[in-house]
Amino acid sequence: MATTLPSSRTVDAPRGVAIALRGVAIGYNGEAIIEEIDLDIHQGEIFFIGGGSGSGKTTLLASLITLRQPLRGSIVLDGIEVVGADEDALSAVRRRFGMMYQLGALFGGMTLLENVRIPLEEFTTLSNDAMDGVAHAKLGLVGLAAHAHKLPSEISGGMQKRAAIARALALDPSIIFLDEPSAGLDPVTSADLDALIVALNHMLGTTFVVISHELASIYSIGHRLAMLDGARKRLVALGSPAELREHSPDPWVRRFLTRTASASQGAA
Amino acid sequence: MTDAAPQARAEVRVGVRGDQLSIAIEGALVLETVGAVYESLAAPLRRAPRGVALDLSGVTRLDASGVAIPVHLFRYTKAAGGTFALSGVSGERQLLIDLALRGQDPGPRKAPPGAVRVVGAWAGDIWTILTDLLRFSGEVSIIALQIVRRPRLLRWKDTVAAVARHGADAVPVVGLLGLLVGAIIAFQTYDPMAKYGAKLQVADVVAVSIVRELGPLITAIILAGRSGSAFAAEIGTMKVTQELDALRTFGLDPVRFLVVPRMLATLLVTPLLSVYASILGVLGGFLVLGPKGITFMQYALEVRAALTIGGYMQGLGKAAVFALLVSGIGCLAGLRTGQGPSAVGRAATRAVVAGIVAIVVADSVLGSFFYTLGI
Ligand SMILES: Nc1ncnc2c1ncn2[C@@H]1O[C@H](COP(=O)(O)OP(=O)(O)OP(=O)(O)O)[C@@H](O)[C@H]1O
Ligand SMILES: [Mg+2]
């Protein structure tokens, strides 16, 4: 690979901390949406972020991938403080992770194959054939092998999402961020995606940070779940999804995890 | 990007028996090694084997890029009509490879278009554009007739807004260009004409060329750049965002709704702008001649003598024709916008280029037409 990892980077114990947040507040124009986030995401974890629509999940993710500075606090990625770091340092950090944006963000003028090739062209010395091969394989993993030569405008919304996942996988990053990967996917495709996440996680120890409302996914593959509540501006729950569903002291969290309408609030 | 040891290594062992290839890979089959594996497979695959057997039992580490190797061999053998057998994988590795192999079909390779085909496509393009233009003119004329009969059908508000945006806002730039072109003509013709003692007749040259020819031409070219491209981009964006489809599902005709107001507005403002450009062009001529000792009175009388009513009408007629061409082509380019984010840009470019070409062609046709009429 063309990228050189900093020599100071230590080989962590199996359960090292991939991302550490301390006293983080996120928001826009100085106004916080969520405050006082203290959170460690471990290496090799499948970590879900949940919460109501508009509660700040995408905004939090933008801070984790260093595209948006938090209002306050500290974020340490792979041992590097990213809050206040300069662009050069940030772009070195960014190469270590893959990101799938909520709306796909595929490059519209390029075919799916070319979209997946872009990071390979920029950061590897692979031959042209090998790049094509790797890109075909990544598209195959998300079930889009047959559509490699189409433009994003020629495929459906769910397919665009999967293509964006293939692009996030391009460099086999050690941390992968996915913003609502299964929204808009049918149950079978969605289950295939879960299987892919688990396989990569087991085989390579890839860390996944996934925003999702898909309770089935959260329970079947999630190691831990963090829940954001926009009304209270806080991270209101953190733990194993099944545990939180049964034993969270917070009724809103239990309702969220059992899909109970707020009107029929039985438990107090 | 993986946490692999810095020097990930892969060994490739290739055995050939007849037309069967057996490949065994050992070590780390990951992004860092996949390029080298590709290279060591290139030579054996050139023998065009009928069957490939891949053994991955010696692989210590496999990532999503390493999966490219089985995918590559699978696609290769499938394209050649051969067989592919995979061994030495189980569990999650098997799953990963199975996921990646779904739907892999090498298909026919897309050949880049040769020069002949490019030219052919280009000629075909022009043909479709011309027929399209004719059909579009028909559509617009029919709706224009309907509106003449029932003026309520016209979107007055949109028309007035377009007049302001594409007429009033163009005044400064049209005026400036008219003034400068008038001055340039006077400047370039003054010396040769003065040699024959025909200083004052420079005014004739300026007046005739500006009023009959350059006033309408300058106006139309600016219009193609400002309004033609804007029409294409506005309507093209609506097409890309499916707003045109939304209009149609309401039973509203995009030609009546979007095209006619824009064309009508352009038709109203272009002759006015052209007259304005001509007046400033003639003034521009005086800016050069004044300092050479010609008084404003002399200049004005000379200009008046040089101009005929026919010359005036010729300029106005041209401006009207140019207006219809530029606005029609701009709107048509917008309606025919393709898919995807770059399509709007292409539509705007096409509107400007086609608009200017149409203006110049129409100008030469009209010029010879008026000449034979003796105007
Ligand atoms: N660019 C922006 N400027 C100002 N406010 C913004 C901006 N983007 C988002 N917001 C606000 O921040 C809040 C959180 O938005 P965010 O996109 O993080 O929500 P989300 O949890 O990802 O929601 P969803 O589940 O619908 O994607 C929202 O109230 C939104 O209005
Ligand atoms: Mg979001």
Whether residues B157 and B97 share a domain: the answer is: no
Scanning every residue of chain A, which has its alpha carbon at the shortest distance from the alpha carbon of B60? A203
Tell me: pLDDT of A266 over 50: no
Q: B332, B324, B322: which is closest to B361 by C-alpha? A: B322
Rounded Cα distance, B328 and B324, in Å: 6
Tell me: pLDDT of B16 over 50: yes
Scanning every residue of chain B, which has its alpha carbon at the shortest distance from the alpha carbon of A153? B340
Instruction: Find the CB nearest A172 among B1, B72, B341.
Output: B1
Domain boundary among B80, B101, B122: B101
Whether residues B195 and B331 share a domain: the answer is: yes
Interval between CA A75 and ligand 1 midpoint (Å): 20
Q: Which positions ≥6 away from B9 have C-beta within 8 Å?
A: B27, B28, B33
User: A50 CB less than 6 Å from ligand 1?
Assistant: no
Whether residues B334 and B232 share a domain: the answer is: yes
Q: Which positions ≥6 away from B203 have C-beta within 8 Å?
A: B285, B286, B289, B294, B299, B302, B303, B306
Interval between CA A54 and ligand 2 midpoint (Å): 7
Q: What is the DSSP letter of B224?
A: I
More confident residue, B115 or B163: B163
Question: Does B286 map to a domain?
Answer: yes
User: A109 CB less than 6 Å from ligand 1?
Assistant: no
CB contact under 8 A, B71 and A174: no
Question: Does B4 map to a domain?
Answer: no
A152 touches chain B (CB under 8 A): yes
A232 touches chain B (CB under 8 A): no
Q: What is the mean pLDDT of residues B78-85?
A: 88
Count CB neighbours of B265 within 10 A.
23
For B293-343, what is each residue's pLDDT tens digit? Answer: 889 999 999 988 888 888 888 889 999 999 999 999 999 999 998 877 788
User: A57 CB less than 6 Å from ligand 1?
Assistant: yes
CB contact under 8 A, B340 and A108: yes
Scanning every residue of chain B, which has its alpha carbon at the shortest distance from the alpha carbon of A78? B3
Domain boundary among B85, B101, B117: B101
Residue A187 distance to chain B (closest CA, Å): 16
Rounded Cα distance, A267 and B259, in Å: 61
What is the three-class DSSP state of A47?
A: strand
Residue nearest to atom 18 of ligand 1 (CA): A56
Instruction: Provide the sign of the torsion angle of the four alpha carbons B23, B28, B30, B31, taken in this order.
Output: negative
Instruction: Find the CB nearest A203 among B35, B93, B340.
Output: B93
Residue A58 distance to chain B (closest CA, Å): 24
| Beta strand segments in B20-169, E | 20-29, 51-62, 83-87
For residue A27, give the ligand 1 atom closest to its CA.
12
CB distance B30 to B65 below 8 Å: yes
User: A63 CB less than 6 Å from ligand 1?
Assistant: no
What residues does each domain of chain A span? 45-69+86-225+234-260
Tokens in use for B163? 């007049």
∠ CA(B370), CA(B371), CA(B375), 5° rounding? 65
Whether residues B170 and B248 share a domain: the answer is: yes
Scanning every residue of chain A, which has its alpha carbon at the shortest distance from the alpha carbon of B339? A153
Tell me: pLDDT of A195 over 70: yes
Burial class (CB in 10 A: 0-12, 13-18, 19+), A113: buried
For A208-242, what is each residue's pLDDT tens digit? Answer: 999 998 899 999 999 999 999 988 999 999 999 99
Q: A121, A173, A123: which is closest to B2 by C-alpha? A: A173
User: A54 CB less than 6 Å from ligand 1?
Assistant: yes
What is the three-class DSSP state of A31?
A: strand
Give the number of the ligand closest to the Cα of residue A29: 1
Q: B124, B128, B104, B126: which is closest to B113 by C-alpha? A: B124
Strand order of the β-sheet with A72-77 is A31-42, A17-28, A72-77, A80-81
Burial class (CB in 10 A: 0-12, 13-18, 19+), A34: buried
Whether residues B140 and B256 share a domain: the answer is: yes
- Write down the architecture of domain A45-69+86-225+234-260 according to CATH: 3-Layer(aba) Sandwich (3.40)
Q: A87, A139, A93: which is closest to A116 by C-alpha? A: A139
A129 touches chain B (CB under 8 A): yes
Whether residues B15 and B77 share a domain: the answer is: yes
A172 touches chain B (CB under 8 A): yes
Question: Does B262 map to a domain?
Answer: yes
Q: What is the DSSP letter of B109?
A: P
High-pLDDT (> 70) share of chain B, %: 93
Whether residues B97 and B140 share a domain: the answer is: no
Q: What is the mean pLDDT of residues A159-165?
A: 88
A3 touches chain B (CB under 8 A): yes
Residue nearest to atom 31 of ligand 1 (CA): A54
Q: What is the mean pLDDT of chain B?
A: 87
What pLDDT does B108 receive? 55
CB contact under 8 A, A172 and B31: yes
User: A125 CB less than 6 Å from ligand 1?
Assistant: no
Q: What is the mean pLDDT of residues B21-33?
A: 93
Q: Which positions ≥6 away from A83 have C-beta within 8 Å?
A: A69, A70, A73, A74, A75
Rounded Cα distance, A106 and B123, in Å: 33
∠ CA(A197), CA(A199), CA(A203), 5° rounding? 125
Chain A residues close to B93, C-beta within 8 Å: 203
Total of domains in chain B: 2
Give the number of the ligand closest to the Cα of residue A56: 1
For residue A60, give the ligand 1 atom closest to its CA.
18
Residues in chain B: 375
For B197-235, what is each residue's pLDDT tens digit? Answer: 888 888 999 999 999 889 999 999 999 999 999 999 999
Chain A residues close to B237, C-beta within 8 Å: none
Residue B67 distance to chain A (closest CA, Å): 6
What pLDDT does A112 receive? 93
Scanning every residue of chain B, which has its alpha carbon at the shortest distance from the alpha carbon of A12? B3
CB contact under 8 A, A143 and B93: no
What pLDDT does B110 receive? 55
For B135-189, what is each residue's pLDDT tens digit? Answer: 999 999 999 999 899 888 888 888 898 898 888 889 999 999 999 999 999 999 9
Whether residues B43 and B174 share a domain: the answer is: no
Q: A189, A92, A145, B81: which is closest to A134 by C-alpha? A: A145
Q: What is the mean pLDDT of chain A?
A: 85
Strand order of the β-sheet with A97-100 is A97-100, A175-179, A207-211, A46-51, A224-229, A234-239
Whether residues B43 and B145 share a domain: the answer is: no
DSSP letters of B242-305? THHHHHHHTT--HIIIIIHHHHHHHHHHHHHHHHHHHHHHHHHHHHHHGGGT--HHHHHHHHHH
For A62-120, what is each residue's pLDDT tens digit? Answer: 899 888 889 999 999 888 898 988 888 887 888 788 888 887 788 877 899 999 998 88
A125 touches chain B (CB under 8 A): yes
Query: Best interface-test mutation with A: which of B60, B99, B346 has the largest number of A CBs within 10 A?
Result: B99
Q: What is the DSSP letter of A101?
A: B
Tell me: pLDDT of B53 over 50: yes
For residue A62, give the ligand 1 atom closest to its CA.
18
High-pLDDT (> 90) share of chain A, %: 42
Whether residues B212 and B337 share a domain: the answer is: yes
With bands split at pLDDT 50, 70 and 90, how would you rate the model's confidence at B361?
very high
Q: A211, A184, A262, A11: which is closest to A100 by C-alpha? A: A211
What pLDDT does A30 receive? 87
Pairing of strands B10-17, A46-51: unpaired
DSSP letters of A227-248? EEETTTTEEEEEE-HHHHHHH-
Whether residues B197 and B291 share a domain: the answer is: yes
Whether residues B236 and B301 share a domain: the answer is: yes
Rounded Cα distance, A120 and A115, in Å: 10
CB contact under 8 A, A146 and B32: no
Rounded Cα distance, A197 and B221, in Å: 57
Scanning every residue of chain A, which has its alpha carbon at the shortest distance from the alpha carbon of B240? A153
Structure pTM? 0.67
Q: What is the DSSP letter of B212?
A: I
What pLDDT does B52 receive? 92
Q: A147, A210, A201: which is closest to A183 by C-alpha? A: A210
CB contact under 8 A, A198 and B92: yes
| A-B Cβ pairs (cutoff 8 Å, strict) | 128
Domain boundary among B76, B101, B126: B101
Q: Could you tell me the residue range of the domain that residue B229 belongs to?
A: 136-373
Question: Does B113 map to a domain?
Answer: no
Place of tokens 């990646």: B100
